[in-house]
């Protein structure tokens, strides 16, 4: 429809569905939910096929919650070990070939990646018939991804920042008591006061001027409106440099519960001797 064509609609392939025969059913379930014939962008959510068993497609209607593997949800775990199930036989290169077929069939206008590291992106580029259009990774002033951004520019891949405001409302499993709070950082709040803007608008303006595509998440109409009201001011070079100096490599979404898979992307950020946490606590 005319109204739909005004939107850029993006969806993601879930980790449980990396096996080549599960890729298309995953997207078809999304298209059915959205009552669409195609999406503008379809991206692999994570490089690792975990949580997942690789045995059958698992989508929203199967349950987006943690459960023993025989229940078929999107977050299957082993009831004995309490660890997520991991489809270690499936590699993302196989997944990418199935993604390319979706473009051939007109089900996706473009395809891309999310949470891939540089080496994994390079591996895709070496085998790709259709090049990734987008890389969606965590990015905010505390995790600026400067090397990865330069690599994407060189490869003509759009870098799309998720958690661009550092996910203030993130779940408890991704929060620690000593985590920094971006939107309360005095460097950000000082600029917000100067421009009569919110701290979130300052950070989003930084993303815009730094050349990022940013996808802030909100269900509150006033905040959605606020998030796009960033085009009537500009940060100075000194202010951009100030925010540039805030980079400290702080990653929110490490998700170490899936690090048993060989394609887990952030192994170099886990300490020596790291023990994989269970999907659920022993009490659960």
Are 54 and 85 within 8 A, CB to CB? no
CA distances to 5, 128, 142, 166, 176 from 217, rounded to whole Å, are 21, 31, 18, 11, 21
Residue 188: per-residue pLDDT: 98
Q: What pLDDT shows up at residue 178?
A: 80
Spatial distance between the Cα atoms of 134 and 113, rounded to a whole number of angstroms: 6
51: cis peptide before it, omega within 30°?
Answer: yes
The pLDDT value given to residue 242: 98
Place of tokens 């096929």: 49
Q: Distance (Å, rounded) from C-alpha 151 to C-alpha 232?
A: 30
Backbone torsions φ then ψ of 52, nearest 5 degrees:
170, 155
Query: Per-residue pLDDT for the chain (284 aa), expressed as one digit of tens each?
Result: 557 788 999 999 999 999 999 999 999 999 999 999 999 999 999 999 999 999 999 999 999 999 999 999 999 999 999 999 999 999 999 999 999 999 999 999 999 999 999 999 999 999 999 999 999 999 999 999 999 999 999 999 999 999 999 987 776 667 777 888 999 999 999 999 999 999 999 999 999 999 989 999 888 999 999 999 999 999 999 999 999 999 999 999 999 999 999 999 999 999 999 999 999 864 44
- Cα separation values, 45 from 17, 51, 95, 187, Å: 10, 12, 11, 32
Residue 137 in tokens: 């990774």
For the chain, how far is it from start to end, CA to CA, in angstroms?
Answer: 46
Q: pTM here?
A: 0.94
pLDDT confidence of residue 283: 41
Alpha-carbon distance of 174 to 166, in angstroms, equals 11
Structure token pair of residue 265? 């992307």
Q: What was the pLDDT predicted at 280?
A: 81
Report the chain's C-alpha Rg in angstroms. 20
pLDDT at position 6:
86
- Tell me the three state secondary structure of residue 2: coil
Q: What pLDDT is attached to residue 262?
A: 97
């Amino acid at each position: 429809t005319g109204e739909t064509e005004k939107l850029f609609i993006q969806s993601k392939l879930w980790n449980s569905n990396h096996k080549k025969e599960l890729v298309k059913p995953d997207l078809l379930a999304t298209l059915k939910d959205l009552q669409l014939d195609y999406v503008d962008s379809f991206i692999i959510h994570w490089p690792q096929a975990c949580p997942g068993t690789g045995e059958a497609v698992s989508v929203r209607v199967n349950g987006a919650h943690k459960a023993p593997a025989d229940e078929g949800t999107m977050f299957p775990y082993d009831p004995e070990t309490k660890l997520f199930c991991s489809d270690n036989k499936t590699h993302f290169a196989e997944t990418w070939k199935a993604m390319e077929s979706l473009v051939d069939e007109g089900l996706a206008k473009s395809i891309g990646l999310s949470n891939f590291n540089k080496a994994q992106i390079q591996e895709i580029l070496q085998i790709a018939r259709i090049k990734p259009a987008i890389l969606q990774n965590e990015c905010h002033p505390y995790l600026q991804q400067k090397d990865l951004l330069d690599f994407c520019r060189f490869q003509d891949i759009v870098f799309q920042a998720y958690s661009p405001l550092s996910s203030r409302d993130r779940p408890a499993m991704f929060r620690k008591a000593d985590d920094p709070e971006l939107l309360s950082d005095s460097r950000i709040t000082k600029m917000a006061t100067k421009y009569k803007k919110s701290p979130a608008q300052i950070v989003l303006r930084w993303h815009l001027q730094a050349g990022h595509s940013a996808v802030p998440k909100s269900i509150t109409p006033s905040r959605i409106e606020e998030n796009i009201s960033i085009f009537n001011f500009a940060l100075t070079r000194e202010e951009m440099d100030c925010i540039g100096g805030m980079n400290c490599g702080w990653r929110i979404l490490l998700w170490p519960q899936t690090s048993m898979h060989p394609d887990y992307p952030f192994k170099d950020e886990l300490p020596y001797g790291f023990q994989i946490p269970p999907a659920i606590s022993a009490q659960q």
